[in-house]
Amino acid sequence: MSKETLVFIFGIILTIIPFLGIPESWRQYSILGIGVFLILIGYALRRKVYLESIDKGNGERGVDSFVETTENLFD
């Protein structure tokens, strides 16, 4: 099951929990648990997209934030 599918399913569960008639304390813990789980999955998805965006295609990751020069800048 993909992470996107898990987010979708847990979103549906989170939406219907208030209407299921479960005790208040269980409902609070289940909403808290699903919320934490959604945060973790969301972080993993964002990290995956970020790492794919900086992938150079040859197994290296990096951005062009540092450029080495051979010129003497300070004489």
Domain containing residue 48: 3-53
For residues 31 and 25, what is the distance between their CA atoms, to the nearest angstrom?
Answer: 10
Residue 49 within any structural domain of the chain? yes
Total structural domains within the chain: 1
Q: What is the mean pLDDT of residues 66-71?
A: 70
In a domain, 75, yes or no: no
- pLDDT the model gives residue 66: 66
Retrieve residue 67's tokens: 């450029």
Does residue 35 contact residue 14 with C-beta atoms inside 8 Å? yes
> Is 44 among the domain residues?
yes
18 in a structural domain = yes
When pLDDT is averaged across residues 34-59 and rounded to a whole number, the result is 88
pLDDT of residue 20 exceeding 70, the answer is yes
| Higher pLDDT pick, 71 / 27 | 27
Q: Is residue 66 part of a domain?
A: no
Contacts of residue 30, defined as CB under 8 A and 6 or more positions apart, other chains included, come to: 17, 22
Across the chain, mean pLDDT equals: 85
- Is residue 16 a part of any domain in this protein? yes
Pinpoint the alpha helices (H) of the chain.
3-16, 24-53
Per-residue pLDDT, 57: 74
Instruction: Kindly state whether residue 17 falls inside one of the protein's structural domains.
Output: yes
